[in-house]
C-alpha cells in the first residue's frame, strides 16, 4: 500500500538503464514516483550543471539532455510538485570511497537535492565477486532496490534527515540476506601521471607540448575496471572496520550518512593568520 509520499527518481546511467527501472517499480510501494533522468549515460560527472537542457516527455516522467544534477534541479524547481525525497539509482557499480563518492553522478544528484532542501538517497549495486556489473543487463537489481525502499521508508519516518542530508548506500546484488552496516566513505586517493610517446595517426604536438595520461587508483592493486576482490584478505586488512570499502569486501550493505553543507572547521591557527595578515 502506498503511504502517499511523492518521490523524485533519477540516476546517472540514463533513463533506459535496468537499475532505474527496477527501483521505480519497487518505489511505487511508497507513493507516487516521478522519473526525471538523463537521456543517456552521465556516469562520473559529479554535480556538474548545465545552463540549458532539452526535456522530453517519457512514460515515467521526463528524459532530460543533461546531468543527474540538472535532472534534480528541473524536477525540484521546474515541476509543480512538492517532493518528499529524491532517490538516485540503482547505479550499476559501487560508489564507495571519498574520492569516488565525490565524482559520482549518482551521488551528485543527491547533493543537488540536499542543497535544494530535499532529503536525498543514492543507491549503488555491486557484485561481491564480479564487483562491477558489466553488462548490467545480466544482473538482477531487485535486492539493492528493495534495500533502498526499506531504508528510504524508515529514514523518512524516523527523522533521520533532521541530522543527515544524504544517505549513500552500496548493496550487493548476489549476497543472500546481507548484513547492513553503518559506514563512512574510506579516505584514500592515488594518482599516477604517465608521459606517453606520440603514436602514429595522432595530431602532431608542438615542440613545447607533450601528452600525459592521468590514472586515478581508487582501489589498491586495481587499475581501471579490474576486479580487486581476488586479494580480498589483503583488502580486508587495508580497509578499516566501519568504512564503506570494508563493508563491500564483506558483502554487506554499506550505509553512509553524509552532509553537503561544506561546514567550516573551527581553526584557531587560520584565525590567527587572517587577523595578522597585512596586505600592502
> Distance between CA 140 and CA 133 in Å, rounded?
10
The CB density around residue 221, as the number of other CB atoms within 10 Å, is 12
Note the helical H segments in the chain: 18-27, 68-78, 98-103, 105-115, 142-158, 232-238, 244-249, 268-276
165 is in an annotated binding site: no
What sign for the dihedral angle of Cα 64, 67, 71, 73? negative
Q: How far apart are the first and last CA of the chain?
A: 68
d(CA 159, CA 92): 29
Omega before residue 90 within 30° of 0, cis: yes
Distance CA 169, CA 88 (A): 10
| d(C-alpha 257, C-alpha 161), whole Å | 9
Q: Is 134 annotated as a binding residue?
A: no
Which residues, 6 or more positions from 25, have their beta carbon under 8 angstroms from its beta carbon? 145
Q: Number of H helices and number of E strands within the chain? A: 8, 11
Quote the CA–CA distance of 66 and 101 in Å, as a whole number: 20
Buried b or exposed e, range 191-213, using 16+ CB within 10 angstroms: eeeeeeeeeeeeeeeeeeeeeee
Question: In the structure grid, which three cell numbers stand for residue 69, read together?
Answer: 544534477
> Binding site annotation covers 16?
no
Q: Is 237 annotated as a binding residue?
A: no
Which parts are annotated binding residues? 12-13, 43, 91
Residue positions in the annotated binding site for a divalent metal cation? 12-13, 43, 91
Amino acid at each position: 500500500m502506498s503511504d502517499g509520499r511523492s518521490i523524485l527518481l533519477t540516476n546517472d546511467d540514463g533513463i533506459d538503464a535496468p537499475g532505474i527501472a527496477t527501483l521505480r517499480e519497487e518505489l511505487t510501494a511508497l507513493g507516487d514516483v516521478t522519473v526525471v533522468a538523463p537521456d543517456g549515460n552521465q556516469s562520473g560527472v559529479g554535480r556538474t550543471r548545465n545552463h540549458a537542457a532539452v526535456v522530453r516527455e517519457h512514460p515515467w516522467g521526463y528524459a532530460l539532455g543533461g546531468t543527474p544534477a540538472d535532472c534534480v534541479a528541473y524536477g525540484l524547481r521546474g515541476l509543480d510538485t512538492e517532493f518528499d525525497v529524491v532517490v538516485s539509482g540503482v547505479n550499476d557499480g559501487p560508489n564507495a570511497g571519498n574520492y569516488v563518492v565525490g565524482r559520482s553522478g549518482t551521488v551528485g544528484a543527491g547533493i543537488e537535492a540536499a542543497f535544494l532542501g530535499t532529503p536525498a538517497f543514492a543507491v549503488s549495486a555491486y557484485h561481491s565477486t564480479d564487483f562491477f556489473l558489466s553488462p548490467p543487463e545480466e544482473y538482477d537489481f531487485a535486492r539493492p532496490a528493495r534495500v533502498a525502499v526499506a531504508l528510504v521508508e524508515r529514514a523518512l519516518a524516523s527523522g533521520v534527515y533532521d541530522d543527515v542530508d544524504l544517505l549513500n548506500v552500496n548493496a550487493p546484488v548476489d549476497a543472500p540476506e546481507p548484513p547492513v552496516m553503518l559506514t563512512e566513505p574510506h579516505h584514500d586517493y592515488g594518482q599516477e601521471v604517465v608521459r606517453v610517446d606520440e603514436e602514429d595517426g595522432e595530431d602532431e604536438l608542438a615542440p613545447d607540448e607533450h601528452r600525459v595520461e592521468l590514472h586515478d587508483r581508487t582501489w589498491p592493486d586495481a587499475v581501471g575496471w579490474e576486479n580487486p576482490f581476488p586479494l580480498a584478505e589483503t583488502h580486508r586488512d587495508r580497509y578499516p572496520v566501519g568504512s564503506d570499502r570494508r563493508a563491500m569486501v564483506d558483502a554487506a550493505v554499506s550505509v553512509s550518512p553524509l552532509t553537503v553543507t561544506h561546514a567550516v572547521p573551527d581553526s584557531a591557527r587560520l584565525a590567527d593568520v587572517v587577523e595578522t595578515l597585512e596586505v600592502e
